[in-house]
Structure 1
Amino acid sequence: MKKSVIIAGISAAMLLSMGTGALAATKMQEIKAFLNPEIKVKVDGSPIQLKDAKGNAIVPINYKDSNYVPIRAISDALGVAVDYDNETKTITLGEKVDGTAIAQGFDNMYHTKDPDQTTYKGIDYKEAYFDNGKGSRGGSFMLYPKKEHQKLYLQIAAIGEDIEKMEIRDSDNDIILKQVDVVKVEDGLVTIEADIGGVESLYVHYDIKDNSFAFVPLTTSYYR
């Protein structure tokens, strides 16, 4: 059963646990509801403990004979990204239509805005991860999708020699989400896709030889 079907089957209508911003909505109405600890939730046949955004255990709410479960709790259990736009009062589940560049919040010693290092094959990408270290080495950087995105589209190019043994990992759970044996110089800028639904942080690692470089444009690599 697809995850989207599971979500719909658990509850026809769910409450969002997204923090104080949602509570400031002007059209909210007060209701009388009941916490119902007798309701149990299973995913693929296995019982789960629902938790809020802070990791605290929660129970479903019963209102007018319907059970309501926070979307955040269900999305975490199923590994589906969830995000809330307070300005438009919109909840987004799964992959977004518009991408978010990984340049936002990127922090690494090889992060550069130097045009000499952000330009690849005549195109200046403005911001890049440019690993120009010395010697044969393992390169790595962190990304933080914060469970708000479903997919990662990571662009990377090998310069000088091929990039080998590239991995994208769920850093918190030490799970490999994507493996690429080799990124060849001759292939130019390639795009690697990884499913990152429900993932807080990512660890990207690869091996590279001496006198070689790894180039990642941060403005055209993005989350969705």
Structure 2
Amino acid sequence: MKKKAFVAIISASMLASMGTGALAATKLKEIKAYLNPEVRVQVDGTYVDLRDVKGNAIAPITYNGANYFPIRSISDALDIAVDYNETTKTIILGEKVDGVSIVDGFKDMYYTKDSAKTTYKGKDYKEAYFNDGSGNRSSNFMLYPNKEHQTLYLQIAAVNGDITELTIQDSDTNTILKKIDVIKAEEGLVTVQVDIAGVKSLYIHGNVKGDTAVFVPLTTSYYK
């Protein structure tokens, strides 16, 4: 989804969620717009009928050459969770985590948004570290908590084999903070909890053999 369209959808959703009293207290400007039932939506090549929470069909609002939809109808069509935090006035898309997702600023050659690689046991995590190299090798990546968090909750799964000697260490001091001898494929998605108080950067590495892949869902792994 293009950024401009995404922003437009969020704006329309926020407008729709405010009551008359809330509108009066804001600096929102009244506009003239039109319902446009001729506009249709396709998702992965298939037309979808957008509906509100009560099941009513939705027509987009056309304003200044842009089409605005309630964000919940779009999130339902894309199968993405959506919520609204009234206190912080924040629309939350995707998984909610009680912390800060490690996906922000994550960089690695095995970072991916390819749904074929971000999907694990039928669930698409949208963004992941997926090391599917070949042969016996080390699987490793960096994280940067920048001394701002106390704990890392890292979700990780071994695919088609085992991960051995998984080690999480302070890369500045080479201090080993956590070591797990083996994570077996049959264990599924494992959450590794690590004390990272005062740590600026982390080096995570483990060993795999043959066709074994390492899966880390970045959207549900987080700092706290």
TM-score tier, shorter chain, comes to 0.5 to 0.7
SS in 2 for 1:172: coil
1:159 maps to 159
Give the letter for the 2:200 counterpart.
Answer: E
Are residues 1:192 and 2:210 paired? Answer: no
* 5+ long unaligned stretches in structure 2: 1-87, 89-96
SS in 1 for 2:129: strand
RMSD: 1.3
Alpha-carbon separation, structure 1, partners of 2:173 and 2:212: 31
Cα deviation per residue 1:49-93 (whole Å; 9 max; x = unaligned)? xxxxxxxxxxxxxxxxxxxxxxxxxxxxxxxxxxxxxxx9xxxxx
Alpha-carbon separation, structure 1, partners of 2:155 and 2:185: 13
Alpha-carbon separation, structure 2, partners of 1:192 and 1:170: 15
SS in 2 for 1:176: strand
Shift of 1:134: 1.1
Give the letter for the 1:191 counterpart.
Answer: T
SS in 2 for 1:116: helix
1:213 maps to 213
Matches within 5 A, 1:25-36: none
Alpha-carbon separation, structure 2, partners of 1:218 and 1:126: 8
Alpha-carbon separation, structure 2, partners of 1:122 and 1:139: 24
TM-score normalised by structure 2 residue count: 0.57
Alpha-carbon separation, structure 2, partners of 1:150 and 1:118: 27
2:222 maps to 222
Cα deviation per residue 1:78-133 (whole Å; 9 max; x = unaligned)? xxxxxxxxxx9xxxxxxxx9410000000000000000000000000000000001
TM-score normalised by structure 1 residue count: 0.57
Identity %: 60
2:100 maps to 100
2:148 maps to 148
SS in 1 for 2:155: strand
4+ runs of 1 displaced by more than 3 Å? none
Would you say how many aligned residue pairs link Structure 1 and Structure 2? Answer: 129
SS in 1 for 2:220: coil
Alpha-carbon separation, structure 2, partners of 1:114 and 1:200: 30
1:172 maps to 172
1:21 maps to none
2:204 maps to 204
1:56 maps to none
Alpha-carbon separation, structure 2, partners of 1:213 and 1:111: 13
* 5+ long unaligned stretches in structure 1: 1-87, 89-96
Alpha-carbon separation, structure 2, partners of 1:199 and 1:211: 33
Give the letter for the 2:156 counterpart.
Answer: I
